[in-house]
Chain A
Amino acid sequence: MTGRRPALQLRQGPAATRILGVGSAQPDRIVTNDDLSQLMDTNDQWIRERVGIIERRFADKDELLVDMAVAAGAKALADAGANPSEVDTVIVPNCTMPSPIPNAAGQVADRIGIKAAGAFDLNAACAGFCYGLGVASDLVRAGSAGKVLVIGAEKLTDVVDPLDRSTAIIFADGAGAALVGPAEEPGIGPVAWGSAGDLVDMIHMRDHQYIHQEGQSVFRWATTQMAPVAMRAVELAGLELSDVDVLIPHQANLRIVEAIAKRLRAKGARDDMIVADDIRYSGNTSSASIPLALDHMRAAGTVRSGDVVLLVGFGAGLSYAGQVIVCP
């Protein structure tokens, strides 16, 4: 052998990342519980008691997942004061694109004005945003990307039987985005993620058309198994549960959200920890629910810059992921 194999050059990014800006978008059309009770055997009190939802947003037929993703992504850039030219990668966690081809991310990047972006969708269902945030942070830290736009976007009304009261009252449409970039101090902690493929049947597409979930089983899984995931995320970030100012679980069902908060408080989280209840006016928007809640809570002043925020997403797969962030 003559000569040695040349060593590949590697890139190295900054040690730390943070969320630089957030944004969200929802359809204009508000659907109340009374509206739904016109279509099926349900009522306002029943829905509020079972899932905690007061109203939700449904997209019109010509308002697509991609449209909502573009709107949310552009707002996150504006919030960060960043130009599209500063962004080189776009991730769109979602599970409701009307067809697997093409993906959402390429066209979303183009429409926001991000040229030749590295762009891909990521399907971890309702855990998608936390998965995407973890990937984005690590891409930046590895030097693979400069700034990454992560946009959880869903049009769940496309996959919900409009007359099935076990799902039609819960799921809704929307998008939420975060711009991830380099930071002096860590603002995104390590991701704690995993899956439970043995439980895949708990949430699936019935006849490849409509989403179906085993309500009691999902409730039991989420209320017992997600607090430990959240605690693992806190541990990986080198913090204590008592350091958490704000808890934003996936907005699956208000009773699941409250049950996770109760378990975390029993393990040392503070009584005055703020707990997201954005589901009340947004419904369950799968991968969009966590960034939607974060954006709404920032706008309302319930979450403030510098707050320690614990995210935990969970859903079909089954898949789950959580991490600690510092609110921008």
Chain B
Amino acid sequence: MADKEEILTGLAEIVEEVAGVSQDDVSTEKSFVDDLDIDSLSMVEIAVQAEDKFGVKIPDDELANLKTVGDAVDYVAANAK
């Protein structure tokens, strides 16, 4: 399975594609909502793409807990097949 660095890179690509945020701005300490200005619907789109890319399930109630990019990276790393 991909290490956290690879997950971050893959996630950053998705965030850029969905929300138009530069990949360079997507770092682990950033909050999706407060720092990257990503709304709840874009978060769903990011989750759906992350599910396809990493082979992981991110239900909506789990999604609500992923406040920062680091939270998402950790979740994918822990749950990816």
A262, closest chain B residue (CB): B45
Residue of A nearest to B42 (CB): A255
Query: Which residues of B have CB within 8 Å of A50?
Result: 39, 41
Q: Flag if B44 contacts A220 (CB, 8 Å).
A: yes
A214 to B60, CA, bound (A): 10
Contact with B along A111-130 (1 / 0, CB 8 A): 00000000000000000000
| A2 on the B face (CB < 8 A) | no
Interface residues of A in 162-208 (CB under 8 A from B): none
Alpha-carbon gap, A216 to B64, bound state (A): 10
A217 to B44, CA, bound (A): 8
Q: Does B48 contact A (CB under 8 A)?
A: yes
Tell me if A289 counts as interface (CB < 8 A to partner B).
no
Say whether, besides A214-B60, A217-B60, A224 and B48 are in contact (CB < 8 Å): yes
CB distance from A245 to the nearest CB of B (A): 27
Give chain A's interface residue range (CB within 8 Å of chain B): 10 to 19
* Contacting residues of chain A (188-246) with chain B, CB-CB under 8 angstroms: 214-217, 219-220, 223-224
CB-CB under 8 A for A216 and B63, given A223-B45, A259-B45: yes
**B41-81 to A contact mask, C-beta < 8 Å, 1/0:** 10111011000000000001001000000000000000000
A271 within 8 A of B: no
* Min distance, Cβ A266 to any Cβ of chain B, angstroms: 12
- Tell whether, in the assembled complex, residue B60 and residue A220 are in contact, meaning their CB atoms are under 8 Å apart: yes
**B27 contacts the other chain (Cβ, under 8 Å)?**
no
- Of A49, A215, A216, A259, most buried by chain B (CB within 10 Å of CB) is A216
Residues of B within 8 A of A223 (CB): 44-45, 48
At the interface, yes or no: B22 with Cβ under 8 Å from chain A?
Answer: no
Q: A49 touches which one: B39, B45, B47, B48 (CB < 8 A)?
A: B39
Q: Is residue B40 contacting chain A, with contact meaning CB distance below 8 A?
A: yes
Encode A22-58 as 1/0 by CB contact (under 8 A) with B: 0000000000000000000000000001100000000
Q: Which of A233-285 contact B (CB under 8 A)?
A: 253, 255, 259
B41 — which chain A residues lie within 8 A by C-beta? 50, 215-216, 219, 253, 255
- The answer for the CA separation of A216 and B41 in the assembled complex, in Å, is 6
Size range of the interface on B?
Answer: 10 to 19
Separation in Å of the A41 CB from the closest CB of chain B?
A: 16
- In the complex, what distance in Å separates the CA atom of A255 from the CA atom of B48? 15
Give Cα A223 to B42, complex, Å.
11
Measured CA separation A253–B43 after assembly (Å)? 16
Q: Which residue of chain A has its CB nearest to the CB of B43?
A: A216
Q: Which among B41, B47, B60 has the highest number of chain A CB atoms within 10 Å? A: B41
A216/B39 in contact, CB under 8 A: no
- Chain B residues contacting A215 (CB-CB under 8 Å) are 40-41
**Closest CB in chain A relative to B51 CB, distance in Å:** 9
As a 0/1 sequence over residues 18 to 48 of chain B, the CB contacts with chain A under 8 angstroms (1 = contact) are: 0000000000000000000001110111011
Counting chain A CB atoms within 10 Å of each CB, which of B40, B44, B47 scores highest? B44
Q: Is the pair B45, A216 in contact by a Cβ cutoff of 8 Å?
A: no
Query: Which partner residue on chain B sits nearest A217 by CB separation?
Result: B60
Residues of A within 8 A of B (CB): 49-50, 214-217, 219-220, 223-224, 253, 255, 259
| Extra contacts besides A215-B41, A220-B48, A255-B41 (16): CB < 8 Å | A50-B39, A215-B40, A216-B40, A216-B43, A216-B44, A216-B60, A216-B63, A217-B60, A219-B41, A219-B44, A220-B44, A220-B47, A223-B44, A223-B48, A224-B48, A259-B45
The 6 A-B pairs with the shortest beta carbon distances in the complex, nearest first, are A220-B44, A216-B60, A219-B44, A216-B44, A219-B41, A217-B60
